[in-house]
Chains A and B, each alone.
Chain A
Amino acid sequence: MLKQLASRNWLMLTLGLAVMALIMLPPVLPDFVVVVLTQSLILAIVAMSLDLLIGYTDLGALGHGAFFAIGGYTTAILATRYATGFGLNLLASIGMAAGASALLSVLALRTAGIYFLLITLAIAMSVWGLIYRWGSLTGGENGIAGVPRPDLGIGLNMSNHICFYYFILTAFLICLALILLLVRSPFGRTLVGIRESELRMKVLGYNVWLHKYLVLIIAGAFAGVGGCLYSYYNNFVGPDEAGLGQCMEFVLMVCIGGPGTLFGGVIGSFAITFAKHWVSIYTARWLMVLALIYILTAKYAPGGLIGLLKQSPKWRELI
């Protein structure tokens, strides 16, 4: 009992420090770092939502990038063609992404296990293809450029890196809080139950299909949030956001951090995003490095960095 309290304290402390660092450090950090932090936070939202699926419910949803892209394109199209405000764009992005998930998950849930992985990937590719070929709507392979930064109507200049960073940080913390609540709620527990024993859940009276369906929609909604924010961040959206590379990168983020831990997705997002930018300074061969990360994670660290941490003797000392 005491051990549990002690480990909780360490965790709370680390978390608290991390949040404080995120809040207090940026004004003194170089612009470049703040920009990368911003990107990491946005992708962390998507990674966390994917962890709900992969880590908590054991749903290998490899096509999550599709909803990220749908959110992104919704915001981009509305902002560039109809000059709509942030609030509407965000809601529309969430609606489109969640709606797409609601439709496509009905099909995907016809399968299970490895088939589910294949189907979700194929569905994401179909969305990619649709985006790529439907040029009149999406700009085809050129994407949509010129997405302006959001005007929140409170006089803040979102083109300023620091300003925009705090805006994103706020969004991230809100999403983190919501997903944390979900994970600790009864519904969140049912997801773990489904992961641990779907059969047992069924005979206990759970409509397992419905729970899976709901979490897929919720995760889709958060991916839509990420997509919306990413369009603002990049001032641009392109078909690659729904592509295989992006989809698998989100999976890698969850896996490298540690599936089922929620914060694993955040760690993974930071790790991959910082690595990408840092390595690219020194070499053009970032993709090769990324490939090695994929291979090493798959071979040696299936539980991610948090998994490795839990296994190390120092961790056992702490708790």
Chain B
Amino acid sequence: MDFIVNQTFNSLSYAALLFLLGGGMTLIFGVMKIVNIAQGSFYLVGGYIGYIIVRHVGNFYLALLMASVLVGFLGMVLERFLIRGLEGQDLRQMLMTMGISVFIADSLLVVFGGYPLSLDPPNFCLASLEVGGYYFHVLRIFMIGAAALVFLILWWFENKTKAGAVLRASVDNKEMAQGLGINVRFVSMAVFGLGAMLAAFGGVIGCAVTAIYPGVDFEVLPLIFVVVIIGGMGSLKGSVVGSIVVGFLDSFGKGLVPELSYFTLFVPMAIVLAIKPTGLFSREP
């Protein structure tokens, strides 16, 4: 019972992190129809920026803000100067995002070295909350809360604002959206920036919870891929479901059958592929 409660809690907090990464990825996939290999890199950059800010200024919230904004901006710049112009050419886009990812990874290695770095979260996060005999790390509760908040903001944005409607239109039918006068190029740039921002936000939190180190960018990618595959491209709801599924499977898998734990990810992916190849919540058939 202990095991189940603890693992469930861990799964949820892990899912929170995955949502931030996968949510960004699925939005980018939905609007721009590209698989952003650099998504993990944005996580990494965010984590390192967060680390620097916390070390020199000491303010965790500032770190969250600055990392998100800076990486969001980075994303937009990359989209504008490198990715734009490759629309519709899947392979070229993959090569480009791969190149960006490898470049960022190696640059960070030069600047920060190979040792894992972690930053201190705000003091209240260091405590543990006691509920019914179980101890829950407040930092992880914070993670879940932060992710939930982000989800709500995104949901409100997507469904209740005009900008969100523009986003949804671009996901559904880009040509049509363009025909309606929507500046699809700007939407692409903004979405790429948004996706990067979410990843960076996750990176700061990840740096606080565990650590940031070279290689984590590629380690998270398979997990994010599965989140997007299960949830469906462009679907916010889908990425929540996908994150939870992956979070649970990975946590419980590691705990129960460590040798096959990656394989446990493969199974739901295969099931989704068999039933609805474009993902459970995607709007395409």
Contact = CB atoms under 8 A, between A and B. Distances in A.
Interface of A: 54, 60, 62, 107-108, 110-111, 113-115, 117-119, 121-123, 125-126, 128-130, 132-136, 243-245, 248, 251-252, 255, 259, 285, 287-288, 290-295, 297-299, 302
Contacts of B221: 125, 244
Contact of B34 (A54, A114, A130, A299): A114
Contacts of A259: 91
A114 B262 contact: no
B82 A129 contact: no
A129 B222 contact: yes
Nearest to B101: A291
A288 B100 CA distance: 10
A252 B82 CA distance: 17
A133 B256 CA distance: 13
B188 to A, nearest CB: 15
26 contacts: A111-B273, A111-B278, A113-B90, A114-B90, A118-B29, A118-B35, A118-B228, A119-B277, A121-B225, A126-B263, A128-B222, A128-B262, A129-B222, A129-B263, A130-B260, A244-B221, A252-B95, A285-B106, A293-B99, A295-B95, A297-B95, A298-B86, A298-B92, A299-B82, A299-B96, A302-B92
Contacts of B92: 255, 298-299, 302
Contacts of A252: 95, 98
A114 B35 contact: yes
Nearest to B259: A134
Chain A: interface secondary structure?
helix
B259 A135 contact: yes
Interface in B58-77: none
Interface stretch (B5-13, B131-139, B176-184, B264-272): B264-272
Contact of B90 (A60, A110, A244): A60
A228 to B, nearest CB: 24
A250 to B, nearest CB: 12
A107 B261 CA distance: 20
A110 B95 contact: no
Given A114-B35, A136-B259, 12 more contacts: A114-B34, A122-B229, A122-B269, A125-B225, A126-B265, A130-B266, A248-B94, A255-B91, A288-B102, A291-B102, A291-B106, A294-B96
A128 B263 CA distance: 10
A291 B85 CA distance: 19
A117 B90 contact: yes
Contact of B266 (A126, A244, A255): A126
Contacts of A302: 89, 91-92
Contact of B82 (A54, A121, A295): A295
B99 A298 contact: yes
Contact of A288 (B90, B98, B103, B260): B103
A246 to B, nearest CB: 11
Contacts of A115: 233, 277-278
B249 to A, nearest CB: 12
Nearest first, the 6 closest Cβ-Cβ pairs linking A and B are A129-B262, A294-B99, A125-B222, A291-B103, A295-B99, A291-B102
Contacts of A244: 37, 218, 221
Contacts of B226: 122
